[in-house]
Structure formats: structure tokens, C-alpha cells
Amino acid sequence: MYCSNCGKEINEKKIQKKLVSDVSTEIDENTEVVYSCPRCGAHIHHNLDEGDLKSLSRAAHAEYQRGNNSFAIGMCQVCLGAISVIIAAIFLILSAKPANQRMIDPTCVEFYVSMILFVVGLVLLVIGGIYVYRGVTKKHHYTQLLKDINDEVFIQ
């Protein structure tokens, strides 16, 4: 079930049900159950009409763009992390001094710079990988939703 206002996928089992009718009336099988979106607070119900489907389509396109943005941010961080690791490797090679029989000298400045760059590069690679994964999965998920809406096979 999707919120037609913001496009968030709602798990019906995890959220509390709100009834359209008063508390004093009896609940039977004909009573319509309305859910409340945890993100935007809009009411969500089954059997969407044409206006709700258009609103859901707009929200799905917005979520797809958020997935694109997350993917772009992640790729930028992966590129910066890779560059940082390459520069760190160069500084690690520079820390092997000829006066020390080409052994890595852990007391020189080049070694400290390489270790800092390795840490920064690995952190950027991990965070960037997480953003890329989230972006790709979000784009795939909302592409499928938009295809279902476009093919008129979407049922909520």
C-alpha cells in the first residue's frame, strides 16, 4: 500500500488502523479502514480513484528523482574515495626512504598522510557504496510502480 500524497510504501501490519466512522458505531466487514501515513500524515485507503492515481504517480516520480540523487551522491563519494586511496598509496610508497634501505618509515610525515588518506578513502568508499545501493534499489522499486500505474495493473 502506497501513500498517494508522498509515495511512501506503507506496511499495513505495522501501522495502526484508523476508522472513518465514530468510535461508538459497530465495526463490521463493510466498514472502510483508513490508514495514516507515518511520513506526511495523509489518509490512505484502498480503491484509489483517478485523481489519487495521478497524485501517486507524481509522488513516485519524486521518489525516483530522490533515488537518482542518492545514486549521484554515492557515485561522487565512491570516486572521491578511490582518488583518496590512490593518493594514499602514492604517499605510502614515498614513505619508503632510500636512507632506510627502502623500508617503510612509520615516523615520517608521508606515512601519517597515507594512513589518514587511507582511512578517509575507505570511509568514503563505504558510505558511497551504501548511497549507491539505496539509490539503485529505490529507482528500481519506483520504476516498477510507475510501470504498473502506466499499464493500469496497479491495485492498492
More confidently predicted of 28 and 61? 61
| DSSP states of 123-137 | HHHHHHHHHHHHHHH
Tens digit of pLDDT for each residue in 93-117? 999 988 888 898 889 999 999 999 9
Mean pLDDT, the chain, whole residue set? 86
The mean pLDDT of 66-76, rounded to a whole number, is: 97
What is the reported pLDDT for 155?
78
Instruction: Check residue 86 and give its pLDDT.
Output: 98
Kindly indicate the confidence band of residue 18, based on its pLDDT and cuts at 50, 70 and 90: very low
Report the pLDDT averaged over residues 5-16: 74
Cβ neighbours of residue 10 closer than 8 Å, sequence gap 6 or more: 1, 2, 3, 35, 37, 38, 44
